[in-house]
């Protein structure tokens, strides 16, 4: 009996450890792929003729002018999907540039559209908003997922505060924006995303609150002059606790599991206590009488921690039983 229990305990330990390590590794891989996409984009840009670049920028500015004119005068704006996807699409891959937020270590490619596939690998540009080339009477809207297990994306967007800087690197331009306000709205509320006469605005949109996905968080920023020195002096925010858990989980799992082989049975109760901490999101939902697990990106986060918790408890239980059968 002990041999069988030992086998299942090791088996469950390996499953749990793999589950814990997977998001850490997948985030590293995802980050590497994002940086490769940006580097490839920049390398291609360097080979472009300056006149061709200016020509494409002017096309995007013309598009923005037509959009602003329609919004300000409450006129219909009949955009062609083909035309939209042809603008700023240098590589014909849908990439129009990149967004960098130094304070929360975000550096993502910007894609045309807001399809789920796009929001899972970078920042998506809302087609009904101004293209990211700046200028008066523009309001560019970029969005991305938050809370994905395998990618950070806009997960830390809520850490931004007034005065933080955001940089858009589109073709040969670097546009600097300073955060001036934040809003929490219903998913259908687009009143904060309209163009304002004479202003050059940028809005970053993601889901909130973290783990519930019921509303939208909007960070509004205004265009300011770009200063290279200021960009280099930006201080990085400390890693938040929820992100620290992802890095700590695999090693805590390993240390606690190895510790369970000690003769002191107290270790088992400590292991079960840590399990409850890992399952805290599920406990909170039960406490708030929210029975259904959310779907989508945040739902994946909850299912991940639930799987880790269950594996923890089963492994600890089998170790505990094994001790008492000796």
CATH of the domain at 131: 2.40.260.10
Do 218 and 247 lie in one domain? The reply is no
320 and 194 co-located in one domain: no
26 lies in some domain: no
Question: Considering the domain boundaries, does residue 79 fall inside one?
Answer: yes
290-301 residue pLDDT tens: 333 444 444 555
Average pLDDT over residues 83-109: 89
Asked whether residue 25 is domain-assigned, the answer is no
The pair of structure tokens assigned to 170 is 């589109």
For the chain, the domain total comes to 2
Question: Is there a single domain that holds both residue 247 and residue 226?
Answer: no
- pLDDT attached to residue 29: 81
Q: Which of 262, 250, 249, 273 is nearest to 320 (CA)?
A: 262
Task: Specify whether 182 is located in the same domain as 257.
Answer: no
Residue 292 · residue 303 · CB < 8 Å: no
More confident residue, 145 or 132: 132
* Chain Cα centroid distance, residue 104: 11
> Six-digit token pair at 204?
């970053």
DSSP secondary structure string, 149-193? Answer: SS--TTTTGGG--TT-EEEEEETTEEEEEEEEEEEEE-TT--GGG
- In a domain, residue 15? The reply is no
Other C-beta atoms lying within 10 Å of the C-beta of residue 140: 28
18 within domain boundaries:
no
Strands of the chain (E only): list them: 95-101, 106-112, 123-125, 138-143, 165-170, 173-185, 200-208, 215-224
Strand 123-125 relative to strand 106-112, pairing: parallel
Range of 17-26, 45-54, 129-138, 278-287 with top mean pLDDT? 129-138
CA distance 238 to 240: 6
- Among 198, 214, 232, the domain-final residue is 232
H-run or E-run covering 223? strand 215-224
Q: Which domain holds residue 302?
A: 240-325
Mean pLDDT check: name the lowest of 22-31, 96-105, 282-291: 282-291
Q: Would you say residue 71 has pLDDT above 90?
A: no
In terms of Cα–Cα distance, which of 92, 93, 143, 107 is closest to 35?
107
Average pLDDT, the chain: 76
At which of 169, 200, 232 does a domain end?
A: 232
Q: Which pLDDT tens digit goes with each residue over 133-182?
A: 999 999 999 999 887 766 788 888 988 999 999 999 998 899 999 999 99
Model pTM score: 0.74
C-alpha closest to that of 217 among 96, 299, 298, 305: 298
227 and 137 inside one domain: yes
Q: Phi first, then psi: give them for residue 186, nearest 5 degrees.
A: -70, 155
Whether the CB-CB separation of 45 and 93 falls below 8 Å is answered with no
What pLDDT is stored for residue 31 in this prediction?
Answer: 79
Residue 13 has a pLDDT of 67
Res 213: pLDDT: 79
Residues 183 and 228 in one domain: yes
């Amino acid at each position: 009996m002990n041999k069988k229990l030992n086998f299942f305990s090791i088996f469950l330990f390996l499953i749990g450890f793999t589950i814990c390590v997977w998001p850490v590794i997948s985030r590293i891989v995802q980050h590497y792929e994002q940086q490769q996409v940006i580097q490839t984009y920049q390398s291609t840009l360097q080979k472009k003729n300056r006149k061709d670049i200016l020509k494409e920028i002017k096309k995007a500015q013309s598009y923005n002018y037509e959009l602003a004119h329609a919004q300000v005068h409450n006129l219909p704006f009949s955009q062609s999907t083909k035309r939209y996807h042809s603008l700023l699409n240098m590589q014909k891959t849908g990439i129009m540039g990149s967004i960098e937020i130094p304070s929360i270590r975000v550096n993502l490619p910007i894609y045309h559209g807001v399809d789920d596939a796009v929001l899972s690998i970078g920042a998506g540009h809302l087609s009904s908003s101004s293209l990211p080339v700046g200028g008066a009477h523009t309001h560019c809207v970029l969005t991305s997922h938050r809370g994905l297990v395998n990618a950070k994306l806009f997960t830390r967007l809520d850490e931004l505060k007034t005065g933080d800087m955001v940089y858009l690197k589109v073709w040969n331009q670097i546009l600097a924006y300073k955060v001036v306000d934040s809003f929490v709205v219903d998913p259908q509320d687009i009143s904060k995303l309209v163009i304002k006469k004479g202003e050059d605005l940028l809005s970053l949109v993601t889901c909130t609150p973290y783990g519930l996905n019921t509303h939208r968080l909007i960070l509004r920023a205004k265009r300011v002059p770009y200063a290279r020195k200021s960009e280099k002096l930006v201080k990085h925010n400390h890693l938040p606790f929820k992100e620290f858990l992802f890095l700590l989980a695999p090693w805590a799992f390993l240390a606690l599991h190895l510790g369970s082989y000690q003769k002191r049975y107290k270790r088992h109760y400590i292991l079960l206590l840590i399990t409850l901490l890992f399952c805290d999101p599920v406990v909170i939902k039960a406490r708030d009488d929210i029975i259904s697990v959310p779907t989508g990106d945040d739902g994946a986060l909850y299912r991940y921690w639930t799987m880790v918790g269950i594996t923890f408890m089963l492994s600890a239980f089998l170790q505990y039983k094994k001790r008492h059968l000796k």
